[in-house]
Structure 1
Amino acid sequence: MKQPRYWIGVASKDHVLKGVQGGFCQLCHGKHSPLKRLSSGDWIVYYSPRTAMNSGNIVQSFTAIGEILNGEPYLFDMGNGFVPHRRDVRFIEVEEVPIRLLLDDLTFIKNKKSWGYVFRFGLLEIPESDFQRIAEAMKVEALVRL
């Protein structure tokens, strides 16, 4: 069995909560290519800058964690001509945690002053140690395999 990889997806909190409720992830406004980078058994943590896309209140927190399930990205018709790609995810129960509590401990953030810059592409791979730090802060007891 291959080693899992660890990812951060970036999405507004309202979009993350829809994904958690529906058991799926969407990345970069529903693009296919970011989802193809994920493999079954990988883990994703969501960082939410705001409550809503392009508006809303500032959140700047990690808001969800899940394991990527078997299967390929698929199209989902959300209506009004919007048909994004999705990937199935098994989310686990977590507590939201502000990123500012973890900035000094996260190795993938090289520039602590301009820390938000690393999130600009919507998906980034991070070291397992950083993922574990985030998961621990979110009160995850253990990442249980299916």
Structure 2
Amino acid sequence: MARNNWIAVASAQHARRGCAIPERGYMQVCHGKRAPLQRVAPGDRVAYYAPTVTMGGKDTLQKFVSIGLVKEGSPYPFDMGGGFVPFRRDVAYVPAQETPIAPLLDMFDFVEDRSRWGYKFRLGLFKVSDADMRRIAQAMQVDLALLQFESLLF
């Protein structure tokens, strides 16, 4: 099965909310838009990167905060109240330690220019290589089998 790897971007507060109840994990990206979630497929891996603790805050964090596998199903609307109805996808998050991105920057394939590494994160959701996702998972001290990685070493 072809599997893609994604980095999703959200504040830590929002990303942590998505994985707070493991059996009901979800992802929401780009202020709840459906279109980006339609590019993600069941079985894909997703890691959440949080530039800040709170949305729009000046409380810099720059850490990967959660990681998991996208579950079966399609994007669906979820009424959060107050007229806000974002789209979500279900995710099976795995146990992981939050980890800073800075020590990993020189190892990532997706970082083309170290001086502008944060530019790609403005997309809100983007694909990365198997090697990059494995690096993230290892830094987060994840059991790689839970993310269905082959037992190859990098």
Number of the residue aligned with 2:79? 77
Name the aligned partner's letter for residue 41 of structure 1: G
Helix, strand or coil: the match of 1:65?
A: strand
Deviations 1:101-127 (A, max 9, x none): 100100101010111001011000000
Residues 80-95 of structure 1: pairs in structure 2 closer than 5 A = 80-95=82-97
RMSD: 0.9
Number of the residue aligned with 2:101? 99
Number of the residue aligned with 2:40? 38
Structure 1 runs of 4+ aligned residues shifted over 4 Å read none
More strand, by proportion: 1
List gaps (5 residues or longer) in structure 2. 149-154
Distance 1:63 1:91 in 2: 11
Number of the residue aligned with 2:140? 138
Distance 1:43 1:101 in 2: 21
The question of 1:13 aligning with 2:12 is answered yes
Helix, strand or coil: the match of 1:63?
A: strand
Deviation at 1:143, TM superposition (A): 3.5
User: Identity of aligned pairs, percent?
Assistant: 43
Aligned partner of 1:64 among 39, 63, 66: 66
Deviations 1:1-32 (A, max 9, x none): x2211000000000001100241000000000
Deviation at 1:84, TM superposition (A): 0.2
Distance 2:4 2:50 in 1: 20
Deviation at 1:141, TM superposition (A): 1.8
TM-score of the two chains, using structure 2 as the length reference: 0.91
Name the aligned partner's letter for residue 57 of structure 2: S
**Aligned residue-pair number:** 144
Aligned partner of 1:26 among 1, 25, 28: 28
Distance 1:31 1:102 in 2: 29
List gaps (5 residues or longer) in structure 1. none
Distance 1:106 1:36 in 2: 25
TM-score of the two chains, using structure 1 as the length reference: 0.96
Helix, strand or coil: the match of 1:90?
A: strand
Deviations 1:15-58 (A, max 9, x none): 00110024100000000001000000000000100001101511
Distance 2:59 2:102 in 1: 16
